[in-house]
Amino acid sequence: MKEGGFEQLNNPESIDSKRVYLYRDSLKGKYENFGGELKFEVPIVFECLANSIEEADRKYKEKFDVDPAKQPNIECLSVDAEE
C-alpha cells in the first residue's frame, strides 16, 4: 500500500473485471477558486482495486477500522480500471 491509504493499482494480475473504488470525505472538503468560480473540492482519502463494492468496503474497513457505509461523510465512486 502507498502512504495515506492508497493501494498500488499497477499490479500484474488481470484487471478485466475489477474497478477502481475511490472514497471521498466531505468533512475534509474545501472551497477552491477555479478561474473565478468557487467550487467545493472533496479529497480522495482511500482508493483500491476490487471486484465489488463489498470487497472495496472490506479493504477500507481493514485500513481504517471503520465501516464506510456507517460514515455519512464518506462517499464512494467507482470507475473502470484501465491497464
Tell me: the pLDDT tens digits for 14-58?
455 799 999 999 999 998 888 889 998 999 999 999 999 999 999
Residue 76 in any domain: the answer is yes
Residue 5 counted as domain residue: no
- Is residue 10 a part of any domain in this protein? no
Question: Does residue 24 belong to any structural domain of this protein?
Answer: yes
Q: Is the pLDDT of residue 75 over 80?
A: yes
Eight-class DSSP state of 8 = P
Phi, psi dihedrals of residue 42, rounded to the nearest 5°: -110, 120
pLDDT for the residue numbered 12: 43
**Residue 59 within any structural domain of the chain:** yes
Q: 3-class SS at 44?
A: strand
Range of the structural domain that residue 40 is part of? 19-80
* Nearest alpha-carbon partner for 79 in 58, 34, 49: 49
* Residue 72 lies inside a defined structural domain of this protein: yes
Residue 51 CA to residue 21 CA, distance in Å, equals 10
The count of domains in the chain is: 1
The yes-or-no verdict on residue 6 having pLDDT over 60 is no
Give domain status of residue 63, yes or no: yes
